[in-house]
Amino acid sequence: MMKKIFFLAASFALLLAATCKEDDDFAKEVVDMNFKSTFGDAPLVMYESAYPYEAGMSVKLQLFQFYLSNISVQREDGSLVLQKDIALINFKDILTPSAATEGISLNMEGLAPGHYKAIRMGIGVAPNLNSTNPANYTPPHPLDDNYWSAATGYVFIKIEGNADTTGNGQFPAKLTFHTGANELYKEKTFDKHFELKKGQTLQLKFSVDLKKVLSKGPGDFLDFRQITQDHSNNPEVYTFIADNLYNALVLE
Amino acid sequence: MASKTQQLNLFEVCCLLFLCLCGGIFMVSATRVLDDADRKNGDVCSPTPYTLQEPAHFVKMLIPADNPLTEEGIELGRQLFYDPLLSMNGAVSCASCHLPQLGFGDGKAFSIGVNGQEGPRSSLPLANVGYYYKGLFWDGRSKSLEDQALIPVREPHEMNSDWSLVELKLRNHPKYPELFRKAFSITDRKEITRFLVAKAIAQFERTLISANAKYDQVLAGKATYTASEERGRKIFFDASDDLPKSECGHCHLDPLFTNLDFQNNGIQQVTSLEDFPDKGRGKITKIIYDNGKFRVPTLRNIELTAPYMHDGRFETLEAVLDHYASGGHLADNLNPNVRQLNFSKQDKIDLIAFLKTLTDTSFVQNPAFANPFNE
């Protein structure tokens, strides 16, 4: 009888061990790149929230999106592991403060466990991809939209909304800033030492302050009393936006 | 005694199983007799795969894996598309509101269904509808063409029928069981369901590609614009700093001339977002900021698809341009790209000249898309 009990217990333990091993094998390492946007200190919520801007103006947003290219992770030895060639970070569906807090997740799977020292990505559409067009893709794909045929390239950054330029609580000024051109594409390295353990989901928190994209400070901002749109026509405006986004995107 | 009862029960169970088996064989045989009546001399049913000729300058079409295009499926879909059998009184077909000669629209502000019932919106043209992956209808309520095709049959202001009745009519029809068998390899007319009807219509609709307008021919180097068309093109795409900007291309993205999105383009004056008489996309998503938003329609064949907007409020392209030049009615969700424009009379003439280069006569006259009952 004891032998039978022992045999049954041993079989059960073996089965359990085998199952656990299987689970370990199936657990994948995930790097969750989480993007949140703010306007100043406040979470960026589309439509509803009015945000104080420069010179007594206020703004409401309907769209804020930008492309990221060649998202790579840098190993300790300096070599880069490409994770995604293109991604569209789009805050247009962020309609509540809780959604803003949750942010937008971009999951990268297949990265080997180990030590890493940085994330590297291009802000905008990399030239090799910017020379393609939606006909090269099957939707849904980040590059199946936002193509401006007249400029034979993609719109890297879109900011749309309304401004109250007089402080009367009305928002009649329509803002549309669409920015894109090969010369605006810039790669940025975010230094961050981290260890990705076997089976781990690791979150990297990125944030971008839209106010900093539109304004460098009280004396240096897009003045919506003077300008409400640019579709990569005015180099002063579109380089201002692209440079600011480069600086405003940070890894916490 | 107990053992004897068990044996008896086992015997009874065996008998029962045997009877069931016999019944099953009988039923299957009866079905086969029915099917044999539909078949033609042992004709092997194997639908012929159809390779869609997609325009090189278009985004790739998403075709669901469970509804690949076949020659027989497309032909069945065409028959069903034009067949008023789908409606309650046998008077209305899909083609009643989607006429080829009108760019697969119907030329009415509000579409007319059975017994002259008026619908709440105008009919959407179907050119390139196979590329619409962000939802169908003006409000995007259907995710796929297969889902969409199920709706008009039971809508009171469209076909006002009942799918069970339609299925019955098709199963007992002298022609359709054979067409369904060829298209979907069914073995029993009872397998004709609303879902196969929807699949066939969706297959036909995916072939409705309009990509041979003058615009496309110019792209391919086979034609050239007139001076007026070229000036209109530049205004349309904001392609010249020396010309006024129209902002059209933000939403009417080429080559489909729609970004497939849903927008409030400012045609309706409201005091709050709750006040839109037709909430459009908002009725589906329940998001207040989607109220008053409607699909950005394609501009392909726009010359043929008047009146314009979801409620057909503008009868001419001139009236549409006048609306956009006004900047639209302000609302919290008005698309900011709809802004006041300064068009001269010549600007409007040129813009319309360009818009007319989107008319694709080879599409509207394509015999493959025509009513098979007229052949």
CATH topology of domain B214-359: Cytochrome Bc1 Complex; Chain D, domain 2 (1.10.760)
- Residue-level pLDDT at A7: 55
Cis peptide before A127 (omega within 30 of 0): no
* CA distances from residue B24 to B11, B17, B21, B192, B315 in whole angstroms, order as listed: 20, 10, 5, 21, 63
- Residue-level pLDDT at A218: 82
User: Does A134 reach chain B within 8 Å, measured CB to CB?
Assistant: yes
Instruction: Give the pLDDT band of residue A105 (cuts 50, 70, 90).
Output: very high
Cβ-Cβ contacts under 8 Å, B231 against chain A: none
A46 to B254: CB separation less than 8 angstroms, yes or no: no
Is the pLDDT at A211 greater than 80? The verdict is yes
User: Does A160 reach chain B within 8 Å, measured CB to CB?
Assistant: yes
Helix, strand, coil: what percent of chain A each, to 5? 25, 45, 30
- Whole-prediction pTM value? 0.87
A231 to B238: CB separation less than 8 angstroms, yes or no: yes
From the list B60, B237, B239, the residue facing A138 with the nearest CB is: B60
Is the pLDDT at A19 greater than 90? The verdict is no
Q: Is the dihedral of CA B151, B156, B160, B161 positive or negative?
A: positive
- Residue-level pLDDT at A16: 47
- The answer to whether domain B71-210+364-374 and domain B214-359 are alike in fold is yes
Q: What is the 3-state secondary structure (H, E, C) of B175-235?
A: CHHHHHHHHHCCCCHHHCCHHHHHHHHHHHHHCCCCCCCHHHHHHCCCCCCCHHHHHHHHH
pLDDT digits (tens, 9 = 90+) for B303-347: 999 999 999 999 999 999 999 999 999 999 999 999 999 999 999
Cβ-Cβ contacts under 8 Å, B339 against chain A: 174, 176, 228-229
| Distance (Å) from the alpha carbon of B61 to chain A's nearest alpha carbon | 7
Candidates B52, B58, B59, partner chain A, best to mutate (most A CBs within 10 A): B59
**Residue B308 DSSP label:** B
Is the pLDDT at B9 greater than 90? The verdict is no
User: Does A95 reach chain B within 8 Å, measured CB to CB?
Assistant: yes
CB B336 within 8 A of CB A176: yes
Is the pLDDT at A240 greater than 90? The verdict is yes
Least confident of A82-96, A158-172, B19-33, B221-235: B19-33
Mean pLDDT of A60-72: 98
pLDDT digits (tens, 9 = 90+) for A106-135: 999 889 999 999 999 999 999 999 999 999
Give the C-alpha separation, B247 to A229, whole Å.
11
pLDDT digits (tens, 9 = 90+) for A157-184: 999 999 999 999 999 999 999 999 999 9
The residues spanned by each domain of chain B are 71-210+364-374, 214-359
Cβ-Cβ contacts under 8 Å, B132 against chain A: none
pLDDT digits (tens, 9 = 90+) for B23-67: 444 344 334 434 544 555 455 579 999 999 999 999 999 999 999
| DSSP 3-state of A4 | helix
User: Does A12 reach chain B within 8 Å, measured CB to CB?
Assistant: no
Cβ-Cβ contacts under 8 Å, A177 against chain B: none
| CATH 3.30.450.20 corresponds to the domain B71-210+364-374 | no
User: Does A147 reach chain B within 8 Å, measured CB to CB?
Assistant: yes
If one compares B19 and B189, the residue with the highest pLDDT of the two is: B189
Is the pLDDT at A228 greater than 60? The verdict is yes
Q: Which residue in A66, A26, A58 sits closest to A42, CA to CA?
A: A58
Is the pLDDT at A20 greater than 80? The verdict is no
Give the C-alpha separation, A167 to A225, whole Å.
12
To which residue do tokens 């009305």 refer? A170
- Residue-level pLDDT at A28: 83
- Residue-level pLDDT at B374: 84
Is the pLDDT at B15 greater than 80? The verdict is no
Instruction: Give the pLDDT band of residue A26 (cuts 50, 70, 90).
Output: low
Instruction: Give the pLDDT band of residue A6 (cuts 50, 70, 90).
Output: low
| Distance (Å) from the alpha carbon of B260 to chain A's nearest alpha carbon | 10
If one compares A3 and A194, the residue with the highest pLDDT of the two is: A194
Cβ-Cβ contacts under 8 Å, A95 against chain B: 287, 289
Cβ-Cβ contacts under 8 Å, A162 against chain B: 336
B289 to A135: CB separation less than 8 angstroms, yes or no: no
From the list B133, B241, B336, the residue facing A162 with the nearest CB is: B336
ipTM, two decimals: 0.86
The residues spanned by each domain of chain A are 28-251
If one compares A17 and B220, the residue with the highest pLDDT of the two is: B220
- Residue-level pLDDT at B45: 78
Residue type, A76: E
- Rounded to the nearest 5 degrees, what angle is found at the Cα of A79, between the Cα atoms of A75 and A85? 95
- Residue-level pLDDT at B40: 52
